[in-house]
Every structure is written in structure tokens, then in C-alpha cells.
Structure 1
């Protein structure tokens, strides 16, 4: 018996609803990079990590707002209706999810950047640091020149 099909796939209508909802809640590092490069108006990228991680490197243009501070500070930093993308360390961390939840509770449209800072760096994208911009070599296991998505 198939391990993959031991639980049957969802009917197509349920799959459409599920994947549509996933895309409404998540974005990825490549799409965020493209939007930052295009300077998309009304979009804010929030780094939900602590200060030590922030100092090691962050997405260019990101705002540092640890998830524990969002409820107290977000409304003084961002106008209502601002579209927010949250990120934290990487797939093994739920800080971006916690941050997205806090923004949603405050009424902001929000998406979580899957892959987080880890995949941003692994794809060779430039990061901002206190001493200036830097990039690491692309990790061949996570990035290709163009995956076609």
C-alpha cells in the first residue's frame, strides 16, 4: 500500500481552498526580494527577531520589531491598513508566525515570509549589517538561478 496515498488526497475543491488560503497567509523570500527591489508602496517588512540576531544581519529596509513588542508599538509605527510581511530566523522558528498573529490581532493585513532570514541568506541575497551590506555564496541545495515559479 502507498504511504503517500494511505490518507487519500483532498478533493480538488478542498485543495483549491487550502492552497488559496496558504498563499493568502504566506510569501517567500524571492517574492519579498522582488517587492523590496521594486519599492512596492504600502508594504513593510518586519524582522521579529531579537536585537542580537538583528545586529548579525537583516533584510535591507526591514523594520526591527520583536514579536513581543508588536502589540505595544505597531500602531505608533505603521498606519492602519499597512501590508506587513513578518520574518524570523527560519523554518525551525515560529517567531514570524507569532509576529503575524500579533499584527492580525491589531487588524493589519499580514503575511509570513516562509524560509525566514535563513533562506534569504542561503539564496545569496544581500543583507544589511551594522558595518554595511554583505552577501554569502548561494547554497546550491536551496537556490537555483531560476526555479520557474
Structure 2
């Protein structure tokens, strides 16, 4: 038996449920950039979850900045609870987006995480405001 099939695949219904659930937690940079380009931003807001200095150096156009360690009832008091907040940070190696998503969901917000973060966004050639990620670490 091959290594690939040593563990049999799930039945189609279980696989569909698993992968649909996975998509409910993450947004793909390609989907987000298509929405931004089409002006279809109703329903979601991008949230950069690293510190203000990192945000000033490089961020996705239109994103707001709220570091995950500052997320509480006061800092989010005027946020629209009808929106989905798409949290992002530097990359897969940084967990600030995950920490932000946890904090916001605990505050009662609906959230997703941007797959791959800002590094994946920039690698795909999508626009970044600031100087880009060169020389910037996770800053979370």
C-alpha cells in the first residue's frame, strides 16, 4: 500500500463537511483581492493584528490596525457586529492573526483569518501600502 493511501480518505460527505468548515475559518488572498478590486467590501473588514510600527511599514490597502494584545471591549466598542473581521499578520510563521481572531471571537465578533498573511499577499503581487515586508519580522 502506498504512503498516500495508508490512511483511507474520508467518505465524500465527511470530506465535504470538513473542507467547508475549513473555509469558514479562512479567507484566501485571491478572493479578498478580487472583492477589493470589484469594490465588493460590504460584509467584511480587514484587520492587521500586528503592532502600529509594522502596520506603518507595510499593510494591505484599506485595512485597519488593532494589535491583538489591545483587543478588548473598549477598543472594539464602535465596531460593527454585522461585519466579518478578516484578521491577518505577517505570515504563516506569525500567529498574531490567530491571536486576534481568538480575541475578537471571544468578544462576540464573527472572524476569519487571511491565509498566509501579508507575506502571501505580497508574494502574489497584490498591492501593499508602505515599503513592503523587506526586513520586517512578525512584530507581534
**Category of TM-score, reference length = shorter chain:** 0.7 to 0.9
Give the whole-Å Cα distance in 2 for the aligned partners of 1:97 and 1:46.
12
Residue in structure 2 matched with residue 139 of structure 1 by the alignment: none
Q: State the partner residue of 1:29.
A: 29
1:52 aligns with 2:53: yes
Deviation of the 1:77 alpha carbon: 3.9
Counterpart-to-counterpart distance in 2, 1:101 and 1:53: 21
CA distance in 2, matches of 1:53, 1:77: 24
Report the counterpart of residue 97 of structure 1 in structure 2. Answer: 98
Q: Could you say which residue in structure 1 is the equivalent of 2:107?
A: 106
Show the counterpart of 1:144. Answer: none
> What is the aligned partner in structure 1 of residue 136 from structure 2?
none
User: 5+ residue gaps in structure 1?
Assistant: 137-149
What pairs up with 1:124-135 in 2 under 5 angstroms? 124-129=125-130
Q: Superposition RMSD on alpha carbons, in Å?
A: 1.9
Structure 2 alignment gaps of length 5 or more: 134-140
| Higher RCO (CA 8 Å, separation ≥ 6 residues) | 2
Is 2:73–2:107's contact at 8 Å kept on the other side of the alignment? no
Q: How many residues align?
A: 132
Partner of 2:8: 8
CA contact (8 A) 2:45 2:85 kept: yes
Give the aligned partner of residue 84 of structure 2: 83
Are 1:125 and 1:135, in contact at CA under 8 Å, matched by a contact in 2? no
Specify whether residues 15 and 30 from structure 1 end up closer, same or farther in structure 2 by C-alpha distance, changes over 3 A only.
same
Please report the TM-score for the alignment, with normalisation by the length of structure 2.
0.84
Cα drift, residue 45 of structure 1: 0.4
CA–CA distance in structure 2, aligned partners of residues 9 and 73 of structure 1: 46
Following the alignment from structure 2 to structure 1, what is the Cα–Cα distance between the partners of residues 132 and 68?
Answer: 26
3-state secondary structure, aligned to 1:76: coil
Decide whether aligned partners of structure 1 residues 135 and 126 sit closer, same or farther in structure 2, where only a CA change above 3 A counts: farther
